[in-house]
Structure 1
Amino acid sequence: MTRLHIFQKVANVIVYLFFLSATVYSVVSPAHGDIGEGQTYITPSFWISYVWTLIHILLGGFVVYQWFEPAHDAAIHGVGWHFVISVLLSSAWLGLLKSGHELIAFIFVLLTASSVSYVFYNLEKNYTADSIWEKLFVHAPFSLWHGWIVFSAVINFFQVVSHTNEEGPSVLIRIFVILALVFLSSTAIGYVEYKKSKGDVTGALVIGLGLLAVFTNQHDPWIHWSALTFAIITLLYTARPFVFKLAGRQSDSEQAPLLG
């Protein structure tokens, strides 16, 4: 391990601690602007934020596990400096949301999505997980983060262009929200199709739960039931690789001879 590698890993630890403190501040601060605030007609229920908590826990596991030899190549070359970049961009995004600068925050959430996407696809293409620890502390946090940041970008976009009012959503707003729900569900299905051979559907699951959170928080009938429909479609499609894998195993066992 070179000095540069040690410096990179130390930087990962420092920015993670900064990230954690910035997120805690965004939760306890009295200012508005979190993903569940600045109400729009696609704002999800607050409980979806627990996914963000899970991501933080797994990223904490990453900054610890990176010091072990099996994680070295994936941490240094697979994730690289994009962890530092993603954390700083994400922290700026949260801060801008809290201060009410939704438009600038939207730009930063897109930049964050770009950086996290690079890590997500680089890990999947070039650094296959060989152990449960690599899956849990290297691949899983970035898969979850990728799904979360895509969902968050859509929520942030509506914080820029529209907010709730006493008259309820117009027909045009309903159409835009339903199109956004279609986009999220299609993206989740894309996750499954891209990674179905490996059965890793964590990003799709995050989006599916996000759609369910939209359903539980929105009361306009068109949006409410559309969100439930797309949540069901997404979550069922997320289970598809596991069902097929189980069916394949059962089929193999049925075709196997009864006696050695």
Structure 2
Amino acid sequence: MSRLHIFQKVANVVVYLFFLGATVYSVAGPKPDPKIILQYETYITPAAWVFYIWSLIHLLLGGFVIYQWFEPAHEVAVHGVGWHFVISTVLNAVWLSLWHKGHLVLALIAILFTASSISFVFYNLEKNYPSTNWWDRLLVHAPFSLWHGLIIFIATLNAFAAFTSTQENGPDTLHITLAIFGLVFLTSTAIGYVEYKGAKGDITGALVIAIGLFAVFDHQTNPIIHWSALAAGIITALYPARPYIFKLLGRSSDSGENAPLLG
């Protein structure tokens, strides 16, 4: 192991402890700050409990920064994830700071850069470093799939916070239409996760978005948005099971029957 590789792995540990840890503690710690979680209300704002997904991501990424020191994980950590773990974590922390301070457009830019960095890891792992054992699936592929799905959800929420507003008398037609468009975008993105590379589609990221949609259903009171979010959540949650439903019905599915849960 070269000195550069050792430095990279040490950097992963440092940003995990100081940057990602601070982010998770702020939104999903023992006493989460509701001003951060629900600071800017929109018509697709979810219930606060959805952000406890951060706790699971943090736990699995903790496993990653430990697993990276073992020989089976060396190549995937150094070349599959590379410096993008450091970049993504720092950008995520920058987003949280900008969001908390009310710089919503700048926060949107930061979260889009974060999504871009995590997307690189996500697709690089899927294309060049497929999981060969359960440790790879659980401690490398799964946390980045979860993180990717949550960042897509947060980016959508940030866009609504930056460019839309809520009204005392409830949403008008335009705001309802925009909210439905946001729900459709999230649903189609989740379906895209499942359909990605056919039978090797990523179900983990899709389930994160499904949970987010159920959280929108839980929080929103406008009937159209409320029930649309529920419908979107059900579609998103059931779509990965489509091959098995077809099988039970004696039909075949074009996208394959064995999409793995963890990449």
The answer to whether the superposition gives a TM-score over 0.5 is yes
Task: Check whether the contact 2:20–2:93 (CA below 8 A) recurs between aligned residues.
Answer: no
SS, match of residue 197 in structure 1: helix
Structure 2 equivalent of residue 8 of structure 1: 8
TM-score (norm 1): 0.89
Identical aligned residues as a percent = 62
SS, match of residue 43 in structure 1: coil
Name the CA distance, whole Å, in 2 between partners of 1:205 and 1:31.
24
Q: Deviations over 1:13-44 (max 9, x none)?
A: 0000112442155335868343x331111000
Structure 2 equivalent of residue 220 of structure 1: 222
What one-letter code is carried by the residue in structure 2 that aligns with 1:11? A
| Structure 2, unpaired ranges of 5+ | 251-263
Structure 2 equivalent of residue 107 of structure 1: 109
Name the CA distance, whole Å, in 1 between partners of 2:202 and 2:243.
9
Change (3 A) 1:101 1:78: same
Task: Check whether the contact 1:26–1:94 (CA below 8 A) recurs between aligned residues.
Answer: no
Name the CA distance, whole Å, in 2 between partners of 1:164 and 1:235.
28
Task: Check whether the contact 2:68–2:74 (CA below 8 A) recurs between aligned residues.
Answer: yes
Name the CA distance, whole Å, in 2 between partners of 1:155 and 1:196.
28
State the Cα distance separating 1:243 from its structure 2 match: 5.0
Structure 2 equivalent of residue 84 of structure 1: 86
Structure 2 equivalent of residue 22 of structure 1: 22
Q: Deviations over 1:147-181 (max 9, x none)?
A: 11001000011111123221111100000110110
Structure 1 equivalent of residue 35 of structure 2: 32
**2:187 counterpart (166, 172, 185):** 185
Structure 1 equivalent of residue 258 of structure 2: none
Name the CA distance, whole Å, in 2 between partners of 1:31 and 1:239.
35
Name the CA distance, whole Å, in 2 between partners of 1:147 and 1:7.
29
Task: Check whether the contact 1:32–1:100 (CA below 8 A) recurs between aligned residues.
Answer: no
Name the CA distance, whole Å, in 2 between partners of 1:72 and 1:92.
28
Matches within 5 A, 1:22-171: 22-24=22-24, 26-27=26-27, 32-34=35-37, 36-171=38-173
Task: Check whether the contact 1:82–1:119 (CA below 8 A) recurs between aligned residues.
Answer: yes
What one-letter code is carried by the residue in structure 2 that aligns with 1:193? E
Name the CA distance, whole Å, in 2 between partners of 1:59 and 1:195.
25
Name the CA distance, whole Å, in 2 between partners of 1:120 and 1:178.
27
SS, match of residue 35 in structure 2: coil
SS, match of residue 179 in structure 2: helix
- Report the more deviating stretch, 196-205 or 237-246: 237-246
Change (3 A) 1:207 1:107: same
Name the CA distance, whole Å, in 1 between partners of 2:129 and 2:13.
21
Change (3 A) 1:246 1:149: farther
- Superposition RMSD in Å: 1.9
SS, match of residue 196 in structure 2: helix
Change (3 A) 1:222 1:26: same
Task: Check whether the contact 1:31–1:99 (CA below 8 A) recurs between aligned residues.
Answer: no
Task: Check whether the contact 2:20–2:89 (CA below 8 A) recurs between aligned residues.
Answer: no
Name the CA distance, whole Å, in 2 between partners of 1:86 and 1:154.
17
Task: Check whether the contact 1:43–1:155 (CA below 8 A) recurs between aligned residues.
Answer: yes
**1:232 counterpart (206, 231, 234):** 234
Name the CA distance, whole Å, in 2 between partners of 1:54 and 1:29.
15
What one-letter code is carried by the residue in structure 2 that aligns with 1:13? V
SS, match of residue 190 in structure 1: helix
- Report the more deviating stretch, 17-26 or 80-89: 17-26
Name the CA distance, whole Å, in 2 between partners of 1:242 and 1:60.
33
Give 1 or 2 for the bigger CA radius of gyration.
Answer: 1
State the Cα distance separating 1:52 from its structure 2 match: 1.3
Change (3 A) 1:172 1:75: same
| Structure 1, unpaired ranges of 5+ | 249-260
Name the CA distance, whole Å, in 2 between partners of 1:29 and 1:110.
24
Name the CA distance, whole Å, in 1 between partners of 2:246 and 2:200.
12
What one-letter code is carried by the residue in structure 1 that aligns with 2:145? S
Name the CA distance, whole Å, in 1 between partners of 2:17 and 2:98.
19
